[in-house]
Structure 1
Amino acid sequence: MATDLRPAYADIDQELFDVDQIPMTSRDVRSVGEMLFDVDYLARQLLMDVGGDDAGTLLRSWPTMVAAAEDLWASLPGRRPGVDERDRPITSLSAQAATIESSLSGRKAWPGQGPTNPRVDQMTQTLLSAAALVRRYGAEIPHEQTEAHRDLEAARTRIMHGLYLTAHAVSVALHDNGRDRVTDARQSGRRVQLAQHHSPYAVAPTGVWVDRMTACENTARSYLNDRFAQALAGEAIRPVDDPGRLAQALANWDIQSHRALARDLAPANILLITRTQGLIAGASMVLVDAAATAGVLDPSDRLVPAIADAGRSWSNLAGRWGDLAPPGARIQEPLARAAAEVRASYRQITHDTTTLAGPEGIAGRPGLSQAVTATLRAVGAGSELAVVVAEKADNPSLTGPARALSRRAHNDVESGLATPPAEGDVVWVSPADILAKRLVPLPPPVAETLRAASDATMDAASTASSMASLHLVERAHGSTASDAKQQPAGPRPDAPQFEPVRLSGGPRR
């Protein structure tokens, strides 16, 4: 009996190419050291970005992160039997975090029950992944050897430093929350009794939490005093065992960033995308410099400035999208994982332990030629990504936290970046919306400067893309020329004729 199978194949094709149906086959290939470095990186970013509205989510996430760090600490090989003096700080920190968790449990007063912080949750998950790796392969580590012992000490230092930075970020958020409360009270005509210790803004109900987080911060700092730099000097560096790792990481990043932009309008995802594009630009400058030193790439006085300009534009745009991301906004896990692998892949080539390697050191590492080709292609692809991000900036349904948008609107007008209103000073966001911590539409100055920053990023990314593409073409022709030296002289009769290629910035939107 004949059966028409075409509808069945059509259904299979539809599922195969449906973004939501494509299974994630990529896995986390980072080492434990790379994971710990990434926790440190994420903690530093968190410290730069926190505001008062983040205080509640950060406080609720803190005990879970400490528990994950203690779990990783306990899994590290080479622990001495009985009470180990070097374990006291993490044990004390765990006890302090446990009391905070107990106080938060079932609490109706501020901060109450609610969402946790996605950035701290990401660090927590990274620590748990590192602990799973150590438990699986830790028995193979010769911890009695000097090099392994020093690397384990560096790992403990990394764990504690990540906790120290995060505790400080929570304290900063609590301080900012108290300052916002004082400001709101003064604007409404209410008197507020300022605090007499830590900070005048450590007011109720945040004051008691400032005290408790300061204790956690001091515990972590006590371990790091006179130890941080010395311990990290013994950190083992993962050798470049896969020259194609960076190319694969950048290819996966390109896929995941486009998927995130195609699905929905999430400012938190766009913040990560723009920030990672800025990181790619910065790392590309380092690799281009090293490649010129090694003779892998012809020196150019236009390529590096073009990439630098694109990096500055991406970073500026990231700051503006950061104002639109509400507290507690979640980042798509595949996107976050792809960004983490990009960071680890670049660092493997560009860094020596805690410092940036010199051009001569990077030039001697295997896979530099492949890395330069991959990073130039990523710079080239950035122009198209900038156009997609700019389209998101034109969406009239964009919203953001009231307080952040109010500050941004007034700052942009005062600095001359936005058109000043004809009627003089304007209250762009209602004080009631700020007090209620609502999400509000973008004020006109914010929308104007976001579009302007997007246009500037498009122009800069287009220029950098043109320069990167030109150097890729020159590299390809150089390789062809070197191969041709082994062939008989004279043109082949079937050789194609190439016309000059015009590299332009492309039309503006």
Structure 2
Amino acid sequence: MATDRRPAYADLDEELFEVDQIPMTSRDVRSVGEMLFDIDYLARQLLMDVDGDDAGTLLRSWPTMVEAAEDLWASLPGRRPGGDERDRPITSLAAQTATIEASLSGRTAWPGQGPTSPRIDQMTQTLLNAAALVRRYGAEIAHEQTDAHRDLEAARTRIMHGLYLTAHAVNVALHEHGRDRVNDARRSGHRVQLAQHHSPYAVAPTGVWIDRMSACENTARSYLSDRFAQILAGEAARPFDDPGRLAQALATWDIQTHRALAHDLEPSNVVLITRTQGLIAGATLVLVDAAATAGILDPSDRLIPAIAEAGRSWGNLASRWGDLAPPGARLEEPLARAAAEVRAAYRQLIHDTTTLAAPDVIGTRPGLPEGITASLRAIESSSEVAHVVAEKAAAPNLVGPARALSIRAHNDVENGLVATPTDDDVVWVSPAAIYARRYVPLPPPVQESLRRVGAATESSCGTAAATAGLAIGNAVGGPTPGTAGSTTDEPTSRRGASLVDPAAPAYNASTAGRRDTQHPSPRVS
């Protein structure tokens, strides 16, 4: 994939918003380290979601991802002249993958020619963007210094870990594909020879691909063995030079969400929206705890349970929309980019490299007052997003993969989530449709449960919005810590600022949220 080389920023003198003066961007503004962490996140999500129907698209996408990873690896500064022992793992993995690509080229047997996986393609594009950024600024990195050397080693480890997780996800999908073939053969009365290695379901034609992907997975694992956590401890953190980053990210996300929901939307994009809304709820809980610890926000007995319930509802809704998403469905690029920036902005504020930061540590970081305010406002506006997503569930033309919908329908009935007109076992999706991997209309139990979960999300988000609005309103109406009318005896350094008026340090609205577009940081992380 070609890297987009358009200007990264719009004219900063033409602000889209008067408040906070948020410049809109047309490119990825994350650091290389944040991109690599996001690849790790996306690979973990992929691993949790894959099924047998994804096997072909994932396998076809694997070679391009490895090629992009090798390109990024080669662009990292500090390579020794000639052969470098550190390059052997990625070189070996690339060679193994090249043979897979050659076997897939022009192939008519399974998996044949067809679409690639948009989720691996997203990781591939992120690797390409990271490589372009390193090539542009890598010469400025003093790689001979200890800290820079450790950061570069952490970057290589991140690259390999993303490949390891993705290879494992492809293997899981291949095993599930073999299981589906065995089950389909048994239902139709045909005999099938089970495999004697890997698993009984590594049957032809998936068995050979499992062998080859297992070799790739083992190569990546051998590089990571006994060193993953140790190496990542040397990963450099992006400096807190932009207190308005999270507010900008959430504002952009809100805009892109409403633009996407304004028209007929692929289920895969609804999944991204619902998952990101759940992530916002979960991260807001962390910020509420940190803000209460720092004395920025008054603790509330209602706020945390309400936001937690909204987060659970978003997760449940995302799971059900995920049943409707076809394996090759594409994500809208502006929406995916906005979601990635939300993840990066939250991680910068609430994480310490690989772990969640303690509340007292988060409380000392610049941007917490702005971040908690923006997060509570995002919770407040989430009820409207929940209403629009619930409307999408009532669309008459919703379809999904037959196998996933059949499983969901039977599970909902068995768990008593929906009422059925008869006690007899009902075949909600025909076996022929499942065997042919067709897309079918939603069975009545799936449609009813989707609407119920959507309504429950509306309700929980409405409650969370009300409590978030009260938290913001109380901060607006109450006395600002450190001013007349305040009864607290806490030192000024701890109180720092109010929720809605972060006055210490001084906040310049004309420059809030802006980046140094002329001299962005060249650091890897």
Structure 1-normalised TM-score?
Answer: 0.90
Residues 423-502 of structure 1: matches in 2 within 5 Å? 424-478=424-478
Contact 2:253 2:339 in 1 (8 A): yes
CA distance in 2, matches of 1:478, 1:343: 32
Distance (Å, rounded) in 1 between the aligned partners of 2:112 and 2:229: 39
Task: Supply the distance in 2 between the matched residues of 1:367 and 1:482 (Cα, whole angstroms).
Answer: 19
The structural deviation recorded for 1:25 is 4.1
Matches of 1:478 and 1:442 in 2, distance apart?
A: 51
Note if contact 2:479-2:485 (Cα within 8 Å) is conserved in structure 1: no
Q: Does 1:128 align with 2:128?
A: yes
Measure, in 1, the Cα distance between the counterparts of 2:186 and 2:338.
Answer: 45
Q: 1:27: how far off?
A: 2.6
Counterpart Cα distance in 2 of 1:236 and 1:431: 53
Partner SS for 2:478: helix
Deviations 1:131-157 (CA, angstroms, capped at 9, x unpaired): 000000000001000000000000000
**Counterpart of 1:400 in 2: which secondary structure?**
strand
* 1:411-455 C-alpha deviation (Å, 9 max, x unpaired): 000011111341511000011111111110000000011011001
Q: Distance in 2 between matches of 1:341 and 1:383?
A: 22
Confirm whether residue 293 of structure 1 aligns to residue 293 of structure 2.
Answer: yes
Q: Compute the RMSD of aligned alpha carbons.
A: 1.5
Distance (Å, rounded) in 1 between the aligned partners of 2:291 and 2:481: 19
Secondary structure, counterpart of 1:324 in structure 2: coil
- 2: distance between equivalents of 1:144 and 1:482? 47
The CA distance in 1 between the partners of 2:484 and 2:478, in whole Å, is: 10
Residue type matched to 1:340 in 2? A
Q: Offset at 1:302?
A: 1.1
Does residue 1:387 correspond to 2:375, yes or no? no
Tell me the SS of whatever aligns to 1:440.
Answer: strand
Between 416-425 and 323-332, report the one with greater CA deviation: 416-425
Q: Which residue of 2 aligns with 1:217?
A: 217
Determine if contact 2:379/2:464 at 8 Å carries over to the other structure.
Answer: yes
In structure 2, distance between residues paired with 1:64 and 1:104: 12
Match of 1:37 in 2: 37
Aligned residue in 2 for 1:255: 255
Give the letter for the 2:51 counterpart.
G
Give the drift of 1:484.
6.4
Partners in 1 of 2:419 and 2:114 — Cα distance?
39
Distance 1:25 1:148, change over 3 A: closer
User: 1:266-303 CA distances to partner (integer Å, 9 max, x unpaired)?
Assistant: 10010000000000000000000000000000011110
* 3-state secondary structure, aligned to 2:281: helix
Distance 2:245 2:195 in 1: 53
> 1:8-53 CA deviation, whole Å, 9 max, x = no partner?
xxxxxxxx9xxxxxx9843311000000000000000000000000
Secondary structure at the aligned position of 1:300 is classed as coil
CA distance in 2, matches of 1:192, 1:421: 37
Quote how far apart the aligned CAs of 1:466 are: 0.3
- Distance in structure 2 (CA, Å) of the matches to 1:294 and 1:190: 66
Q: Which amino acid aligns with 2:365?
A: R
Query: Aligned partners of 1:290 and 1:181: how far apart in 2?
Result: 50
Cα distance in 2 for residues equivalent to 1:162 and 1:423: 47
- In structure 2, runs of 5+ residues without a counterpart are 1-15, 17-22, 487-525
Structure 2 Cα separation of the partners of residues 324 and 475 of structure 1: 42
Map 1:369-380 to 2 at 5 A.
369-380=369-380
Number of residues paired by the alignment?
A: 465
Cα distance in 1, alignment partners of residues 421 and 335 from structure 2: 39
1:480 and 1:216 map into 2 onto residues whose CA distance is 58
Structure 1 segments unaligned to the other structure (5+ residues): 1-15, 17-22, 487-509
Q: Map of 1:54-203 to 2, 5 A cutoff? A: 54-203=54-203
Structure 1 equivalent of residue 339 of structure 2: 339
1:410 aligns to 2:406 (yes or no):
no
CA distance in 2, matches of 1:311, 1:424: 36
Shift in Å at residue 263 of structure 1? 1.9
Distance, in Å, in 1 between the alignment partners of 2:65 and 2:28 is 20
The corresponding residue for 2:323 is 323
Distance 1:264 1:24, change over 3 A: farther
Task: Find the aligned partners of 2:137 and 2:448 in 1 and give their Cα distance.
Answer: 53
Instruction: Give the distance between the partners of 1:189 and 1:249, measured in 2 at CA.
Output: 55
Q: Distance in 2 between matches of 1:265 and 1:157?
A: 36
1:100 maps to a residue whose letter is I
Structure of greater Rg: 1
Verify the 8 A CA contact 2:24 2:252 in the aligned structure 1: no
Shift of 1:179: 0.2
Question: Looking at both structures, which has the greater relative contact order when contacts are Cα pairs under 8 Å and sequence separation is at least 6?
Answer: 2
Name the amino acid aligned to 1:341: E
Q: Which amino acid aligns with 2:83?
A: V
Q: Percent identity at matched positions?
A: 78
Rounded Cα–Cα distance in structure 2 between residues aligned with 1:339 and 1:106:
36
1:280 aligns with 2:287: no
TM-score using structure 2 length: 0.87
SS at match of 2:226: coil
> CA separation in 2, counterparts of 1:97 and 1:210?
13
User: Counting helix residues as a fraction of each chain, which structure ranks higher?
Assistant: 1
